[in-house]
Amino acid sequence: MTTVTKSASRKLTIARAMAEATAQEMRVDPRVFVMGEDVGPLGGVFGNTRGLFDEFGPERVRDTPISETAFIGAAVGAASDGMRPIVELMFVDFFGVCMDAIYNLMAKNTYFSGGKIPVPMVLMTSTGGGYSDAGQHSQCLYGTFAHLPGMKVVVPSNAYDAKGLMTAAIRDDNPVVFMYHKALQGMGWLGTEKGATVAVPEEAYTVEIGKAAVTREGSDLTLVSLGAGVHHCLRAAQALEAEGFSAEVIDLRSLVPLDRETVRESVAKTGRLVVVDEDYHSYGVSGEIIASVAEHPGCRLRAAPKRVAYPDIPIPFAPTMEQWALPNADKIVAAFHQMLSES
């Protein structure tokens, strides 16, 4: 279990927490710089580079052309030459135009150099829907990135973790994909999740990459999720408490490395597992978590595990359809009820 110390009562949004972590590292390390589309004077479409341009100027906070292949490839080249770039892929959905630079270069150069040429860079990218942007601007693709070896992957659910994970990512000598969910950014116009805006210490600190957090303790059921899904789980846990059930909520925080041990320990205690993932149902995080529990020799499940995930369809525009397809607390509660009825 990971405990966090919240030494400050000041609350920040994830967007501000990311920008603060970046600014603090830029102040102490001249190798750190930011580039991407609209990261300069605009401060990032999702607010996560706000203030950086004013403080560090256009040399270190670079607006790029709409050329993801070139600037992500350039980040790899700069990282291999002693810099520590933070590069933004505005929507994760855009990975289609530049995946070669990500998974063939960024993720493989360390290995193909026998570990001699590290690629210390952060690729930050927004995920998630729920605001009728349809299927080219609303995906999560957690499983896609986590599946491909050679890059660490983190997905914060709140501003405290966002700052600590961002600082850890910038200091890491490996490529780290930092996936932030739009609904958690505190942007207002994106249906902000209040639970993501939490107290954040002013000083720099790290949250260890590869460690899940037990966000709520419980004894009857383990709910595992990441990003926005954690907040659905917390609401579901509250609803289940009213019914007399005690749900434990695990926030994965990192997908690579994956903290299987924390999940297994929890399920060993509760015997029941529901995985909640806004990414597609099949071949993704939910399947990986269930397999990680089921394949362990110590696995003692009292009921067949369940997953509440996005159906295997492109994300539709119409709010009626999109909201129907998204995970939510009611679906999690229903999954648990079904589990009880089956066991």
Partner 1 sequence: MQPTAEQRRWMYRHMVLSRYLEERIEALYMEGKTPVFNMAKGPIPGEMHLSNGQEPCAVGVCAHLTADDIVTATHRPHHIAVAKGVDLDAMVAEIFGKATGLSGGRGGHMHLFDGDVNFSCSGIIGEGLGPAVGAALSRQMQGKPGVAVAFIGEGAANQGAFHEALNLAAVWKLPVVFVIEDNAWGISVAKQAATAVPRNDVRAAAYGMPGHHVADNDVEGVYAAAGEAIARAREGLGPSLIEIETSRLAGHFMGDGEDYRPKGEKEGLADPIPRYRAALLEAGVLDEAGDDALVAEAHERVEAAIRFAQQSDFLPPEAALETVFV
| Site residues (vs partner 1, CB under 8 A) | 33, 59-60, 62, 64-65, 67, 69-83, 85, 97, 100-101, 104-105, 108-118, 149-150, 152, 173-174
In the complex, the smallest distance separating the C-beta of residue 203 from partner 1, rounded to whole angstroms, is: 27
Q: Which CB, 97 or 199, lies closer to partner 1? A: 97
* Residue located via tokens 């059930």: 245
Q: Which CB, 33 or 180, lies closer to partner 1? A: 33
Task: Kindly state the DSSP code that residue 160 receives in the 8-state scheme.
Answer: H
In the complex, the smallest distance separating the C-beta of residue 153 from partner 1, rounded to whole angstroms, is: 12
In the complex, the smallest distance separating the C-beta of residue 2 from partner 1, rounded to whole angstroms, is: 21
Q: Which CB, 70 or 294, lies closer to partner 1? A: 70
Q: Which CB, 8 or 66, lies closer to partner 1? A: 66
In the complex, the smallest distance separating the C-beta of residue 73 from partner 1, rounded to whole angstroms, is: 2
* Residue located via tokens 């952060």: 122
DSSP, collapsed to helix, strand or coil, labels residue 30 as coil
In the complex, the smallest distance separating the C-beta of residue 149 from partner 1, rounded to whole angstroms, is: 6
Catalytic residue status for 68: yes
Concatenating the DSSP letter of every residue in 44-80 gives -TTSTTTTHHHHHHHHHEEE--S-HHHHHHHHHHHHH
Cα distances (angstroms) measured from residue 71 to each of 99, 102, 120? 12, 11, 15
Catalytic residue among 137, 181, 231, 232: 137
Element (H, E) at 145: helix 142-147
What does the alpha-carbon distance between residue 51 and residue 125 come to, in Å, rounded to a whole number?
A: 18
Cα distances (angstroms) measured from residue 132 to each of 21, 139, 279, 309? 30, 11, 16, 18
In this structure, the strands spanning 84-91 and 32-36 are parallel
Catalytic residue status for 295: no
Catalytic residue among 68, 193, 288, 322: 68
Q: Which CB, 4 or 74, lies closer to partner 1? A: 74
Q: Which CB, 73 or 327, lies closer to partner 1? A: 73
CB atoms within 10 A of CB 3: 6
Are 266 and 237 in contact, with CB atoms under 8 Å apart?
no
In the complex, the smallest distance separating the C-beta of residue 31 from partner 1, rounded to whole angstroms, is: 8
What does the alpha-carbon distance between residue 23 and residue 144 come to, in Å, rounded to a whole number?
A: 29
Residue 331: burial class (beta carbons within 10 Å; 0-12, 13-18, 19+):
middle
Kindly list the catalytic residues.
68, 137
